[in-house]
Amino acid sequence: MARHIKLTQQGDCHKWAGIARAAGDAILRVYNSETWGVERKADESPLTRADKEANAVICDGLAQIAPHIPIVSEENRQVAYDMRKGYQYSWCVDPLDGTKDFMKRNGQFTVNIALLEGGHPVLGVVAVPVDGTVYWAAKGQGAFVQRAGHEAQQLQCAEVDLTQPGLVVVASASHLTPETQEFVAQLREPSFKQLGSSLKLLMVAEGIAHVYPRLAPTCEWDTAAAHAIVEEAGGVVALTRREPVQYNKESPLNPFFVVYGQKALP
């Protein structure tokens, strides 16, 4: 067990950040090329050469550094739940979160790498390829961001009260559901921002946004890494019934959830 838990120590986060950066470089090489090799998955979501090449970088890197921990990636063949349910630790990976935003060339896509202990993320790394920013967190060690050319800074969520006016709400640019609109309508004079990929959770972790209602479908690999970062920054990622979001479930789909800054649970 000790060899697994060592992975969550702060110094080790730089190893995982290096893998995420390398995956981001692979994505940018495709992003700046003329051939993306776009395919369609069974659910009609897009798959590009960037997804595949970033996935190869991440899986190779994790296998070299932590060969004893299984990898569950959006782009790998999915492991049967009968086997996964026994995992004490596992990686949860989205090599390119925001493929649609990648194809729109708006820069709002990320590389997500999380370490799960059972059903909970205990380490998370998110890289933003277009500007070189990397976020990371480890359980009990805090959450941090490092922008290109700058020293790392610790993250802290904003303290919020859902009854106060002027809260900053961040929501999906492509999944603005009636449920989300109803949630926002209950707030007093909120300001509203829309953004793609896991960047929305990170806005809460940075204190830029107060709340992120995700009342639309997501998968575990979309959220696990940023979930760890939000929690270490003092925030909460919870179901609308207040229970925490769980991972390594039989289905990779997340239930609807809300991301809150500090002291914001109703």
Is 195 a known ligand-binding residue? no
Consult the annotation and say whether 7 binds a ligand: no
* 238, β-bridge pairs: 244, 258
pLDDT of residue 8: 45
Backbone angles phi, psi at 57, to 5 degrees: -60, -45
Which residue has tokens 């921990």? 69
**Cα–Cα dist 17/111, whole Å:** 10
Position 25: which residue type? D
Distance, CA of 236 to chain centre: 14
Q: Is 96 annotated as belonging to a binding site?
A: yes
pTM (predicted TM-score): 0.92
Domains of the chain: 2-154 (3.30.540.10), 168-260 (3.40.190.80)
Handedness of CA 79, 5, 228, 134 (dihedral sign): negative
The verdict on whether residue 159 carries a ligand-binding annotation is no
94 in a known ligand binding site: yes
pLDDT tens digits in sequence order for the chain, 266 residues long: 334 445 444 456 778 899 999 999 999 999 999 888 788 877 778 888 999 999 999 999 999 999 999 999 999 998 999 999 999 999 999 999 998 899 899 999 999 999 999 999 999 999 999 999 999 999 999 999 999 889 999 999 999 898 999 999 998 766 678 888 899 899 999 998 888 889 999 999 999 999 999 998 899 999 999 999 999 999 999 997 678 899 999 999 999 999 999 875 55
